[in-house]
Amino acid sequence: MNSLKSISDEIKSTQHAFLRLSKTKRLVLGSLFASLAALFQSAGGLFPGIGYFISPLATAPILFCSMLSIPLGCISYILTTVLLLILQPSELIIFPFTTGLLGIGTGAAFFIFNNRISIVVSGATLLTVGISILLYGFKFPVLGPTVTHNFSFLTLGFIFLFSNFYNWTWVEISLAIFKRVKAIISS
């Protein structure tokens, strides 16, 4: 329980340091995060093959920006979407419902919850909803041609389990990297 409390305290202290920066510096940092997210998300279309391993990294900039400030995270999310419209329109349907939504949801969960389980499950729930909207609502084959567009609780359960594992990985990675981002912001 002590380690869970220290996570919340460390993030809150970094948020306070971030809010002491001028508005210009905060906007520039948010813009840099959005640019990185757009480049990572575009990698799948620009570099077929290896780019598909790079594109999931688009979650990280939005996640870090949302951990620092939810409004700035939302602005970065929107800016990334606009940049994708220019750079790689084919990725425009994927980002808002998967990687971007996961980044916003998990970053906001760090504000709301104090333990890893709640943070992981809330982000995973948003990712599951986003994938379900793409798969069942828009009939977009986000999981490939092997998963049908017909609604199935079994498929939904597997999506939710995968989303939990995937988001748990992002929470652990973000906490490890967040200490480095904190050092950059504090300087």
Using CB atoms within 10 Å of the CB of residue 23, give its burial: 0 to 12 exposed, 13 to 18 middle, 19+ buried. exposed
pLDDT-wise least confident of 10-14, 29-33, 102-106 = 10-14
Give yes or no for residue 156 having a pLDDT over 70: yes
Give yes or no for residue 85 having a pLDDT over 50: yes
What pLDDT does 16 receive?
Answer: 82
Exposed e or buried b per residue across 114-145, where buried means at least 16 C-beta atoms within 10 angstroms of its C-beta: eebeebbbbbbbbbbbbbbbbbbeeeeebeee
**Residues 6+ positions from 28 with CB-CB distance below 8 Å:** none
What pLDDT does 84 receive?
Answer: 95
pLDDT level of residue 49 (50, 70, 90 thresholds): confident
pLDDT level of residue 13 (50, 70, 90 thresholds): confident
Look at the block and give the residue holding tokens 């041609």. Answer: 145
Whether pTM > 0.85 for this model: the answer is yes
Give yes or no for residue 1 having a pLDDT over 60: no
What pLDDT does 128 receive?
Answer: 97
What pLDDT does 175 receive?
Answer: 86
151 backbone φψ class: left, alpha, beta (φ>0; ψ -120 to 50): beta
Whether the Cβ atoms of residue 69 and residue 19 lie closer than 8 Å to each other: yes
CA distance 179 to 171: 13
**Residues 6+ positions from 11 with CB-CB distance below 8 Å:** 67, 110, 178
DSSP 8-state symbol, 166: H
pLDDT level of residue 181 (50, 70, 90 thresholds): low
Whether the Cβ atoms of residue 100 and residue 37 lie closer than 8 Å to each other: yes
Cβ atoms within 10 A of the Cβ of 107, count?
A: 28
DSSP 8-state symbol, 134: I
In DSSP notation, 12-46 reads: HHHHHHHHTS-HHHHHHHHHHHHHHHHHHHHHHHH
pLDDT level of residue 3 (50, 70, 90 thresholds): very low
CA distance 68 to 92: 25
What pLDDT does 6 receive?
Answer: 53
